Amino acid sequence: MKKHFTSIPLKITHTVEAHFPVNPKRVYLLLHGYMQTGEFLYNQFRAALPDDAIIIAPNAPFLLPYAKKEHFEMRYAWYFFDPKVRVYYIDYDAAAEYIKSLLIEMDIIRKPITVIGYSQGGYLAPKIAEIIPAVDTVIGLACSFRNEKFEYRQSVIMHQINSKQDLIIDHSSAKEEFLKLRERGNVGRFVSLEESTHRIDVEYLSELKSFI
């Protein structure tokens, strides 16, 4: 017989790539993609973000060791979804609560927060906005905002950047979800890229800067 326990803490060291200026007015929270790291996304987006803001890019809570020829490389995931059977073995809630606890520990949870999520991190981003009142902006790149997975707060503006050439995230389905979100009151923009694929490139970065 299997028994399930949901309140047992697992205390491990969590790594965050961060920029902390003097007297910051805003926090930019970066959520990386599946099997990536916070450091990767920080390096991708750092130049597009203002120097006078806090920038944090945590590793997701679930470790995915990646076997290379001579060693294991540490990669991470925010949740586990099986697209073949359409089952969440671990849904968004655990990662969202992890981010909330992290912001509390860093004493920045009351500052205005912009969440920028790429790929799997973009799927999670609206859930962060649901449970953290200081989040006022969400920007998703190469992702889909699944409306059934989060409650929408009217004070949050959500933008999305997707490519028509993305072979991982279906552009039409992502746009359809965004239009549903607009019916719920969101006034953000959906940007369609023509040439990019799923990988972050200058086209993604250019559009991201327009929202900062």
Locate the domains of the chain by residue range: 21-211
Q: How would residue 24 be classed by pLDDT, with cut points 50, 70 and 90?
A: very high
For domain 21-211, the CATH class is alpha beta
Mean pLDDT of 114-136: 98
What band does 111 get if pLDDT is binned at 50, 70 and 90? very high
Asked if 167 and 187 count as a contact pair (C-beta separation under 8 A), the reply is no
Query: What pLDDT shows up at residue 2?
Result: 84
What's the rounded mean pLDDT across residues 88-100? 95
Contact yes or no for 65/75 (Cβ under 8 A): yes
For residue 190, the Cα-to-chain-centroid distance in whole angstroms is 16
The whole-model pTM stands at 0.95
User: What is d(CA 146, CA 24) in angstroms, rounded to the nearest whole number?
Assistant: 32
pLDDT tens per residue across span 57-66? 999 999 998 8
Q: Would the pLDDT of 142 be above 80? A: yes
What band does 5 get if pLDDT is binned at 50, 70 and 90?
Answer: confident
